[in-house]
Amino acid sequence: MTTSSLESMSPEGKDLRLVCLVHYHEVGLKGRNRSSFERKLKENIEKRLSGISTGRVSRVSGRLLVAVESEEEAAAVAEAAASVPGVVRVSRGVRTAQRLEDVYAAALWALECCEPYETFKVDARRANTDFPIDSMQLNRVIGAWLCERLPQKTVRLREPDARLCVEMIEGSAFVYAQTSRGVGGLPVGTAGNVVCLLSAGLDSPVAAWRLMKRGATITALHFSGRPETADTSEHLVRDIIEVFRPLGGIERLCVVAFGGYQRELSDAVPPELRVIFYRRLMFAVANRVAERFRAKALATGESLGQVASQTLDNIRAVDAVATYPVLRPLIGTDKQEIIEEAQRLGTFAISSQNHEDCCTLFMPRSPETHAKLARVERISAQLPLEAWLEQILEDLEVEEFFS
Ligand code: ATP
Ligand code: MG
């Protein structure tokens, strides 16, 4: 159906405007935080829609409204808005005056958009009592009118093919029957900043996404094997960041040329403990980065027992270095689930490209799977860690994405 068919259904005097209604969870949006959450969500949606729609985003009674010009635009807006964290549903429909004959015309149009369908249900609501007919009566009168006009269709209250929603809000009627599911979560930028150790592997991009979905912004920290390896992983990390950029959640990327330090570490510590020491140094750097950018936590893509360095003993041996809470959003997630999520997000193909990860540099055949923290700490005390940290922080390559 096209806009012209909408116009043909809006006889003289009827004012039907195409809109997208963006619904968000009330959960987490209550109390004092509510208005700042709503403001952030509106801002994130406006950013996400730039280049897709010029329609204004406005607030109406616990929803956001995007005015659109055509059904094609409505479809594009709905798809983009549904991908913004904090959005639970997006509906495409029309806004009319609160007059029954306008609502009828809109309802007919909205249902026609759902073809083919056999059964339908009317779900009408008024937000307040400024409209004289209550919700129950509204359901009945609209339903009765539609039954008369659509004799070949049947009303079915449970699991209908099409659900026609009519909402009487702030002097307007919103009529829609097409609704798509949003990603849910909370608006990016409402939870504070997290330093996410971001490799070009499969897991950490998914971990970063999950944190953004819960409202965090990300300082991405990448360790490159440079100069011992090529800089391929850095390019892949940038490609991953590009996938997330439209969400507005990646604040900056920090890259550490880590290869030289890994060489020094591999000379100084027992071969089976190399990975543990690489990772302890990574965490020590992450602490400093968090301090510099006022982040509130660190995060990794670790999943319990997935590889040698992710046993509980090894996690403990590494975690001991952290001075911030370490978030591990994937700790209980299986590889297959992570792969499916990465595919949905669009990072899978990037992470699947061949690259050398710095963690695999100078790896012994059998790394320690149950490191003893006391032994690790003893060896650690012999290393010039403070001097390395100073140097790494001085050489840190920082790219800001919005300031
Ligand atoms: P990923 O797929 O995220 O690389 P992985 O399964 O390869 O994870 P590890 O290599 O043990 O597991 O890494 C565990 C976590 O450590 C990663 O999820 C990431 O958060 C961090 N990490 C590993 N390598 C790097 C790196 N080169 N730069 C930044 N962070 C890293
Ligand atoms: Mg990896």
- Indicate the top mutation candidate among 194, 196, 202, 203 to test ligand 1's pocket, ranked by most ligand atoms within 8 A of CB: 203
- Indicate the top mutation candidate among 194, 198, 199 to test ligand 1's pocket, ranked by most ligand atoms within 8 A of CB: 199
Q: Which CATH architecture has domain 193-400?
A: 3-Layer(aba) Sandwich (3.40)
Q: For ligand 1, what atom is nearest to the CA of residue 196?
A: 20
Q: What's the rounded mean pLDDT across residues 312-321?
A: 95
Q: What's the rounded mean pLDDT across residues 256-272?
A: 95
Going from the Cα of 197 to the center of ligand 1, the distance in angstroms, rounded, reads 7
Given a cut of 80, whether residue 9 has pLDDT beyond it is: no
The pLDDT > 70 percentage for the chain reads 95
Phi, psi of 236 (to 5 degrees): -65, -40
Q: For ligand 1, what atom is nearest to the CA of residue 206?
A: 3
Q: For ligand 1, what atom is nearest to the CA of residue 303?
A: 6
Q: Is 20 helix (H, G, I), strand (E, B) or coil?
A: strand
Q: For ligand 1, what atom is nearest to the CA of residue 221?
A: 29
The answer to whether the beta carbons of residues 208 and 243 sit under 8 Å apart is no
pLDDT of residue 14: 58
Going from the Cα of 333 to the center of ligand 2, the distance in angstroms, rounded, reads 16
28: DSSP letter: T
**Average pLDDT over all residues of the chain:** 92
pLDDT of residue 292: 98
Domain boundaries, the chain: 3-181, 193-400
Please tell me the chain's helix, strand, coil percentages from 3-state DSSP, rounded to the nearest 5: 45, 25, 35
Going from the Cα of 369 to the center of ligand 2, the distance in angstroms, rounded, reads 16
The answer to whether the beta carbons of residues 49 and 77 sit under 8 Å apart is yes
CA nearest 53: which of 67, 40, 35?
Answer: 67
Closest Cα to atom 24 of ligand 1 = 199
* Alpha-carbon gap, residue 393 to 182, rounded angstroms: 40
Q: For ligand 1, what atom is nearest to the CA of residue 310?
A: 11
* Ligand that lies nearest to the alpha carbon of residue 194, given by its number in the listed order: 1
Q: Which residues contact 366 (CB under 8 A, 6 or more apart)?
A: 272
* Alpha-carbon gap, residue 343 to 248, rounded angstroms: 20
**Using 50, 70 and 90 to split pLDDT, how confident is the model at 1?**
very low
What is the fold, at CATH topology level, of the domain defined by 3-181?
VC0802-like (3.30.2130)
Q: What's the rounded mean pLDDT across residues 197-224?
A: 97
Q: Read out DSSP for 109-167?
A: HHHHTT-S-SEEEEEEEESSTTSSS-HHHHHHHHHHHHHHH-TT-EE-SSS-SEEEEEE
pLDDT of residue 365: 81
Tens of pLDDT, residues 135-193: 999 999 999 999 999 999 999 999 999 999 999 998 999 999 999 999 999 999 999 99
* Ligand that lies nearest to the alpha carbon of residue 279, given by its number in the listed order: 1
**Pairing, β 326-327 against β 397-400:** unpaired
* Alpha-carbon gap, residue 113 to 27, rounded angstroms: 31
**Each residue of 141-176: b (16+ CB within 10 Å) or e?**
bbbebbeeeeeebeeeeeebbbbbbbbbbeebbbbb
Given a cut of 90, whether residue 61 has pLDDT beyond it is: no
Closest Cα to atom 14 of ligand 1 = 302
pLDDT of residue 237: 98
pLDDT of residue 12: 47
**Using 50, 70 and 90 to split pLDDT, how confident is the model at 11?**
very low
Q: What's the rounded mean pLDDT across residues 383-401?
A: 97
Environment class of residue 233 by beta-carbon count within 10 Å: exposed (0-12), middle (13-18) or buried (19+)?
buried
Count of C-beta atoms within a 10 Å radius of residue 134: 13
CA nearest 197: which of 318, 336, 73, 354?
Answer: 318
* Alpha-carbon gap, residue 360 to 375, rounded angstroms: 22
Which residues have C-beta atoms less than 6 Å from ligand 1? Answer: 197-199, 201-204, 221-223, 300-302, 306-307, 309-310, 357-359
Going from the Cα of 213 to the center of ligand 1, the distance in angstroms, rounded, reads 20
Given a cut of 60, whether residue 203 has pLDDT beyond it is: yes
Given a cut of 60, whether residue 7 has pLDDT beyond it is: no
pLDDT of residue 29: 62
64: DSSP letter: E
The pLDDT > 90 percentage for the chain reads 81
